[in-house]
Structure 1
Amino acid sequence: MIQSLLQAMRFQEGRQAVLEQPQFQVPFLLDYLAVFLWAVSGAIVGMHKRYDFAGVLVVAILASTGGSLIRDGIFLQQTPPVLSNPVYIPLIIMAVALVGLFRRRIAQMALVDRVVNVIDGIGVPAFAIVGLQLSLQAGIPLPGVVVVGVANGVGGGVLRDLLVGDAPAALRPGTIFVSGVILICILFLVLTLGFGVSKEWAAWGMIVLFFTIRMLSIRYNWRTRPVLQGPSVRDE
């Protein structure tokens, strides 16, 4: 009993020490570039679904800022950056307008997919770690902290796919993505809370790790498998 109390006290001290460290901040250039390119990817999906301008814009907004909307609107109950930062909405509108003007060329450019994959590899873990930090500050228990971090990282793509009536690509079998986000979220907490590594060093280490895993999984086609093999229940 006493040993359990001592362990709990040490954990709280470690958590408090982590909270007192300077927060990891996503570089503003990466932040805006990620939002812009994710908005482009969302706009392309919306146009392929034959949505009008308003529909395409909504898809682009959710694709580019959906993770923070889930994090702040559902879990932390605070104003999300897309509503408090005056840059995001004009940036997303610019992305939609660009896709509208050059829709045929952009939709057929393999370069767009490659650039988005690179931004995913860097931006997704960065924003997942931001979610971890904010949920730690809010006093959420560690399992919930991981949930918020993962939602912050992959929520935009999930909301985009659900909005257009598709099964979320992030949740389907394919190249390593969500499982990689879960891994780096857990490792970040272990490094910072368990070993006292600074949040800045741990964050960049996790970004490099996720980027490496993501790029290798795309390059060598490392794929996850469905839990249940064979046709889905709906197909039977």
Structure 2
Amino acid sequence: MAWELLSMIGTVAFAISGAFIAMEEKFDVFGVFILGVVTAFGGGAVRNLLIGVPVSALWEQEVLFQVALLAITVVFLFPNNLLRHWTRWGNLFDAVGLAAFAIQGAIYAVELDMPLPAVVLAAVLTGSGGGMIRDVLAGRKPLVLRAEVYAAWAVLAGLAIGLEIVRTDAGLMILFVLITALRILSALYKWRLPFRQV
């Protein structure tokens, strides 16, 4: 149940995130749908490649593709006065997608009996891979590669699941809320990881 719910939440959040950024960059309707779908499913595709799952497994998620396309359609048809609030709500959708997919990716790796490093990597790639592809296609510097705290929260989710600190559905939902809140707070208060300039 937790797996399916997190997949649905992450898919909708990242599909909306990709669609909004495509419209911000003045993509046409085709570009909006492509960027929305790539954002929603790109992280899972990269994860599958690296942990040895056929990428074709993504095509078995027909319901999620339909949900993503519906979410993108709704966003594309939003009135302009609502779209202007994207800067306010963009971080929320991004945080929800990051948390849901990081946890989902970690669960996926655990179910395949992967070691802890693979669980953490699956969490990071599933949580931030789609956003990285989205930013590159939109001509932006990927959020995850900046000094801003982003992928670190996916690492935290991967460790919590890989070390079996969180085991129940209720625990996964609490972890989801925690990761979402930490990502929103880090964006709101501009928390930064250490970095060097040369």
1:217 aligned residue? 186
Aligned-pair distance for 1:182? 1.1
**Structure ID, larger Rg:** 1
**Which of 11, 25, 47 matches 2:2?**
25
- Pairing of 1:150-161 with structure 2 (within 5 A): 150-161=124-135
**C-alpha contact (below 8 Å) 1:82/1:89 kept by paired residues:** no
**C-alpha contact (below 8 Å) 1:42/1:59 kept by paired residues:** yes
2:155 aligned residue? 182
1:88 aligned residue? 64
Aligned-pair distance for 1:167? 1.3
Identity fraction in percent: 26
1:70 aligned residue? 46
Aligned amino acid, residue 197 of structure 2? Q
Do structure 1's residue 38 and structure 2's residue 14 form an aligned pair?
yes
Aligned amino acid, residue 216 of structure 1? L
Aligned-pair distance for 1:65? 1.9
2:24 aligned residue? 48
Distance 1:199 1:150, change over 3 A: farther
Aligned-pair distance for 1:36? 2.6
Deviations 1:67-93 (A, max 9, x none): 212222443323566521222333333
SS of alignment partner, residue 224 of structure 1: coil
1:19 aligned residue? none
- Pairing of 1:136-147 with structure 2 (within 5 A): 136-147=110-121
Aligned-pair distance for 1:168? 0.6
Off by >4 Å, runs of 4+ in structure 1: 79-82
Q: C-alpha distance in 2, partners of 1:224/1:201?
A: 30
* Gaps in structure 2 of 5+ consecutive residues: none
Aligned-pair distance for 1:122? 4.2
Q: C-alpha distance in 1, partners of 2:20/2:93?
A: 16
